[in-house]
């Protein structure tokens, strides 16, 4: 059932992406021209051009994503930390394996924030959870996110005995379910969860559903800012944020409906 959910989420997620619909619109224009439906082609072209112009100028994704990012406060107060849980997603496993050195990508703040906390609390365990979230790796990843994270944290001076690695999970629900027995936290311990701010509400829900109570949310990797600051011309960035916002809203709904 977990594998079916994983595959379905990837396929539905791809279909919901705005850039997917841009490609579909272009395909419809070509088909309309082949069928000599010039008015239909002109109508679709005009709507597509108008939407692309709006998306290029206005950061519409910020309006959808920022309420999610504000769910948990940044930099909460911490006195004692017994463990730090870091969710995968900030590393580029394939590029890292290809070049033979750790390559980080958007979301790298998950690693840098975890290192900052690890230095502030030198007795805390560092648990990284992540296998591969790519559909092509449904049968198993050749290089897991956890293996890349291991190289990163060891290179930054984290002692091997502090490091816990979970390299089988494919999504947030599996992150939570497979991490809990590995950490085996006791009731009076304080563990901090580090992930992107837009991902934090779904991650906290999954960890609570898995039976891990008392986690402190430490959101990082904010993708939004003041709406006015984003007005300009940046189609690629605006599409990226909008894709993230749509994926996260749908993901939260799917996780609520399935109790994950």
- Sequence spans of domains, the chain: 2-69+232-258, 83-220
Q: What is the pLDDT of residue 259?
A: 78
- Per-residue pLDDT at 141: 57
- What pLDDT, on the 0 to 100 scale, is given for residue 54? 95
Residue 164 is encoded by which pair of tokens? 């816990």
> Which of 235, 9, 35, 246 lies closest to 27, judged by CA?
35
- To which CATH superfamily is domain 83-220 assigned? HUPs (3.40.50.620)
pLDDT at 258: 82
Contacts with 65 (C-beta within 8 Å, 6 or more apart), sequence order: 198, 223, 224, 241, 244, 245, 248
- What's the rounded Cα separation, in Å, for the pair 112 and 181? 25
Q: What is the pLDDT of residue 10?
A: 65
Q: Determine the pLDDT at residue 71.
A: 96
Of 215, 217, 143, nearest to 183 by C-alpha is 215
pTM greater than 0.75:
yes
Mean pLDDT of each 10-residue bin along the chain, 260 residues long = 64 82 95 95 96 95 96 95 95 90 93 97 96 57 83 95 93 93 91 97 95 94 94 93 93 84
Torsion angle, alpha carbons of 192, 103, 152, 118, to 10: -30
pLDDT at 255: 86
Predicted pLDDT of residue 142: 58
């Amino acid at each position: 059932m977990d594998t079916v959910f994983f595959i379905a989420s990837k396929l539905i997620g791809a279909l919901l992406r705005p850039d997917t619909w841009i490609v579909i619109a272009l395909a419809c224009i070509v088909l309309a021209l082949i069928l000599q439906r010039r008015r239909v082609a002109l109508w679709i072209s005009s709507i597509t051009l108008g939407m692309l112009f709006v998306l290029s100028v206005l950061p519409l994704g910020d309006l959808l994503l920022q309420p999610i990012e504000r769910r948990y406060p940044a930099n909460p107060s911490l006195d004692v930390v017994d463990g730090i849980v870091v969710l995968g997603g900030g590393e580029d496993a394939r590029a890292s394996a290809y070049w033979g050195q750790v390559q980080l990508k958007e979301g790298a703040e998950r690693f840098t924030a975890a290192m900052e906390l690890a230095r502030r609390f030198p007795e805390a365990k560092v648990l990284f959870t992540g296998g591969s979230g790519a559909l092509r790796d449904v049968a198993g990843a050749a290089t897991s996110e956890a293996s890349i994270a291991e190289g990163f944290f060891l290179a930054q001076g984290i002692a091997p005995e502090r490091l816990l690695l979970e390299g089988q999970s494919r999504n947030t629900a599996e992150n939570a379910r497979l991490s809990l027995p590995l950490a085996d936290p006791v009731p009076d311990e304080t563990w901090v969860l580090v992930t992107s701010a837009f991902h934090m509400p779904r991650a906290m829900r999954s960890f609570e559903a898995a039976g891990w109570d008392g986690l402190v949310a430490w959101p990082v990797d904010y993708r939004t800012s003041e709406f006015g600051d984003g007005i300009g011309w940046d189609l690629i960035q605006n599409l990226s944020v909008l894709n993230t916002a749509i994926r996260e809203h749908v993901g939260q709904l799917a996780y609520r409906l399935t109790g994950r």
